[in-house]
């Protein structure tokens, strides 16, 4: 179990710090709403990855390539929607009343963002899925250890990033606006890239389109 636990932890940390639309959204949410309301959004992968893992391990290998491209388009436009919100916060900063209650809309958007992001599908299809199956076939304890290492490390790391960004933005309003602008631009870039990638790959012949 220890080997799979370590592998899961390594991949979990890499997933947490890798730049992407989900991380950019967490940063944006932390700066706008504060860490108390943004922190629950870190748990979004626990809600979204279950269906993704099942889909990848059972169905994804048999679906047509255009399905992934459709997912790219939907995800790209949703990311642009999130980018617009972050950029509005940058251009017109507002004082947000911090609350101990979770931001339910933020959690819902984080879950939806993860479901429409092809990256989790690609990761579980090419890396995480085979390791999980390999460990589970040896003994279910290995599979559980891999998942525990992956999600334990990823969620802890993302929570640390949210706390760091929220605290830094609270101490310096100019830094808050700067980070909000950067996160908004990053989200817009990720959204446009995802849409463009979908267009390019859709234009290829079905035999050349990567899943």
Per-residue confidence in pLDDT tens, the chain, 211 aa: 678 898 889 888 877 877 777 888 888 888 777 888 788 889 888 888 888 888 777 765 565 666 666 766 776 776 787 677 667 766 665 444 444 444 567 788 888 888 887 778 777 876 777 778 778 888 889 989 999 999 999 899 889 888 888 777 665 566 656 666 676 677 678 778 777 877 776 666 444 444 4
pTM higher than 0.75: no
- Provide the pLDDT for residue 104: 63
Which residues have a Cβ under 8 Å from the Cβ of 94 and sit 6 or more positions away?
none
Q: If we measure between CA atoms, which residue out of 198, 205, 187 comes closest to residue 68?
A: 198
3-state secondary structure 58-78: HHHHHCCCHHHHHHHHHHHHH
- Provide the pLDDT for residue 100: 43
Q: How many CB atoms lie within 10 A of CB 129?
A: 18
State how far the Cα of 141 lies from the Cα of 86, in Å rounded to an integer. 42
- Provide the pLDDT for residue 151: 93
Q: How many CB atoms lie within 10 A of CB 2?
A: 9
């Amino acid at each position: 179990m220890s080997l799979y636990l370590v592998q899961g932890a390594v991949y979990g940390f890499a997933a947490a710090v890798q730049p992407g639309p989900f991380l950019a959204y967490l940063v944006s949410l932390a700066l706008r709403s504060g860490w108390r309301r943004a922190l629950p959004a870190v748990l979004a992968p626990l809600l979204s990855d279950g269906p993704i893992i099942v889909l990848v391990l059972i169905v994804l290998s048999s679906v047509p390539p255009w399905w992934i491209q459709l997912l790219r388009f939907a995800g790209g436009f949703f990311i642009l929607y999130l980018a617009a919100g972050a950029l509005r916060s940058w251009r017109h900063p507002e004082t947000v009343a911090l609350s101990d209650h979770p931001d339910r809309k933020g959690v819902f958007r984080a879950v939806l963002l993860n479901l429409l992001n092809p990256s989790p599908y690609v990761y579980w299809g090419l890396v995480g899925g085979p390791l999980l199956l390999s460990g589970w076939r040896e003994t279910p304890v290995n599979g559980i250890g891999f998942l525990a290492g992956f999600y334990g490390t990823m969620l802890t790391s993302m929570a640390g990033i949210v706390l760091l960004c929220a605290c830094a933005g609270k101490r310096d309003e100019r830094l808050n606006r700067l980070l909000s602008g950067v996160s908004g631009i990053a989200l817009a870039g990720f959204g446009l890239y995802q849409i463009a990638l979908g267009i390019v790959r859709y234009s290829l012949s079905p035999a050349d389109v990567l899943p």
